[in-house]
Amino acid sequence: MTRSITLRVNGKEHTLEVPVQRLLIDCLRYDLGLTGTKEGCSVGVCGACTVLIDDEMISSCLTLAILADGRELRTVEGLAQADGTLSPVQQAFIDHGGFQCGICTPGMVTAATALLEAHPRPSEDDIKEWMMGNLCRCTGYYKIIESIQAAAAQLRGESVA
């Protein structure tokens, strides 16, 4: 059984015919070609598949695509600025070594973006609590926290060390 859905992904509207059991991550990656979102654990605990639906973080590996019908989605590909330059969060992860292998990075950057949109001045403890649903097997998290702190400072117009 299939269903027609309309998704607004990264500012573009897409109408698709999808099987009712199609997961959102598969719809994004295979139907729309947005391969930035990664599948890590397939059970919603690693955060690699994090996307924003109506500015709320969700695990796209657990969410049926039909549940996103008519909603606004942002993936890591949609976080860049309008002119195509990287967002401050994306750039901070590069500048401050917030990633290594890159599997968790799209989910980390997406979650960090949601954090800074909700809380522009997070403490280190706020960052740790918010990001606890995003796991990384390569880093010790220090550079991830540093990257988020640098992005927060830049977004507030403060100088970044």
Sign, CA torsion 80/86/88/91: positive
**Domain residues of the chain, as ranges?**
2-78, 88-155
pLDDT at residue 161 above 90? no
pTM above 0.75, yes or no: yes
pLDDT tens-digit series, residues 2-34: 999 999 999 999 999 999 999 999 999 999 999
Architecture of the domain defined by 88-155: Orthogonal Bundle (1.10)
Given a contact cutoff of 8 angstroms between Cβ atoms, the answer to whether 60 and 25 are in contact is yes
Digit-coded pLDDT (tens) for 38-90:
999 999 999 999 999 999 999 999 999 999 999 999 999 999 988 999 999 99
pLDDT-derived band at 150 (thresholds 50, 70, 90) equals very high
Range of lowest pLDDT (20-29, 37-46, 130-139, 152-161): 152-161
Mean pLDDT of 139-147: 93
Using CA atoms, how far residue 153 sits from 94, 120, 149, in Å, is 15, 8, 6
Residue 160 confidence (pLDDT): 72
Q: Which CATH architecture has domain 2-78?
A: Roll (3.10)
List alpha helices for 24-138, DSSP H.
24-26, 88-95, 105-118, 124-130
Q: What is the pLDDT of residue 132?
A: 95
Strands (E), 27-137: 50-53, 56-59, 72-74
Strand partners, 61: none
The pLDDT of 78-104, averaged and rounded, is 94
Q: Which two tokens stand for residue 121?
A: 């001045």
What is the per-residue pLDDT for 156? 93
For residues 151 and 96, what is the distance between their CA atoms, to the nearest angstrom?
10
